[in-house]
Amino acid sequence: MSDCAPRSLGPVLFATKKLLALGAPYRGEEIAVVMAVVSRGLAQQPNSDDECCFVSDEWISKHTRMSTHTVKRHLTTHCQRDEPVIGRSWPGRTFGTDGRWHLHDSARYTLLRTSAQIEEARRLEREHQQVEARRTAKRLETKRAKKAAEFRQHLEHEIHHHGARRRSAAPVAS
């Protein structure tokens, strides 16, 4: 990747050339997902050279006619590549093509033209994967604890219920 990737190439042409280059590792579905993001419209961010947009997985899913799960899988694969075309982050706000800041919960996608941008995007992706792993572990732990509590409650109910039955069924000594 050249650090002097020409800005004269618009985002769509830049991404297309990179994604479809001879020997490029990208698959059809991944290309469709990346091109949906890039064609959405990227805005130059103030005080940086970043060209970004924010878009939800659902929007990408609708425009590629793939399930949201499939979109997420291809985005993860793409963003973990050695040389992704786009990177994602979750800063909470992005400067839009309308010249205003927009607050959002969805990912911000950045077109990666330089090796410095790629390294930063890969660092952010590693951090994101670590956060997601912790969230998943916490969700599983909560689910396990809930099932254990339900099981204990069931056992206590059974013990109490069967104990009451045995006492009522026991012959009364005179």
Both tokens of residue 70?
Answer: 């499939």
Give the pTM: 0.71
Tens digits of residue pLDDT in 2-49: 454 557 789 999 999 999 999 999 999 999 999 999 998 888 888 888
Quick one: which of 53, 41, 70, 55 has its CA closest to 105? Answer: 55
DSSP 81-131: SSS-SEEEE--SEEE-TTSSEEE-SSPEEEE--SHHHHHHHHHHHHHHHHH
What integer pLDDT is reported at residue 74 of this predicted model? 96
Query: Which residue segments constitute the domains of the chain, with CATH numbers given?
Result: 11-132 (1.10.10)
Q: Return d(Cα 47, Cα 117) in angstroms, integer.
A: 15
SS3 52: strand
Tens digits of residue pLDDT in 124-156: 888 877 887 787 788 888 888 888 888 788 888
The neighbouring-strand residues paired with 43 are 52
What integer pLDDT is reported at residue 1 of this predicted model? 44
What integer pLDDT is reported at residue 102 of this predicted model? 87
Total Cβ atoms within 10 A of residue 2:
8
Quick one: which of 135, 54, 142 has its CA closest to 93? Answer: 54
Tens digits of residue pLDDT in 73-129: 999 999 999 999 999 988 888 888 888 888 888 888 999 999 999 998 888 888 877
